[in-house]
Amino acid sequence: MDTIVLRTDLYQTLERNAQQEARTVDDIVNEAVEYYLREQQRIKLNREILAYETLYPELKQNYLGQWVAVHNQALVDHDKDRIALYRRIRARYGRTAVLLRQVTEHLHEEVWLRTPSTGKVTS
């Protein structure tokens, strides 16, 4: 395993914070790295969503009703079976964020949510 070297000032700050929180520096560093990686995946997924929207006219014409996979702003696979597509994508790309979306008639589907009534009548 490789060693990661932190700047002295960062390590000292982490040590103080760890003591105040009754945690270890390792715990704080692991949490921070985990957050960073999740954020990078979220940013990547947002890029894939924008790519899907750009590709949508072609996707609708060729893959309506199918599930598509968008990775690095390109269509990389498609299938009628979402689970089969998911398994191929996981086998090929591991835990990298890849957008899987069903191509529907409209780019943005309307979603209606029914909420329970509060029983209040307004006039």
Alpha carbons 64 and 47: distance in angstroms, whole number: 22
> Given the structure tokens 């932190």, which residue do they identify?
6
Q: According to the model, what pLDDT value does residue 1 have?
A: 82
**In percent, how much of the chain has pLDDT > 70?**
93
Classify 22 as helix, strand or coil: coil
User: Which H or E run contains 78?
Assistant: strand 74-79
Q: pTM, whole model, 2 decimals?
A: 0.77
Domain ranges across the chain: 8-102
Alpha carbons 34 and 110: distance in angstroms, whole number: 34
111 vs 22, more confident? 22
Q: pLDDT tens for residues 33-64?
A: 999 999 999 999 999 999 999 999 999 999 99
Q: pLDDT tens for residues 66-119?
A: 999 999 999 999 999 999 999 999 999 999 999 999 999 999 876 677 777 666
Q: With 0-12 CB in 10 A as exposed, 13-18 as middle and 19+ as buried, what is 85? A: buried
Alpha carbons 20 and 27: distance in angstroms, whole number: 13
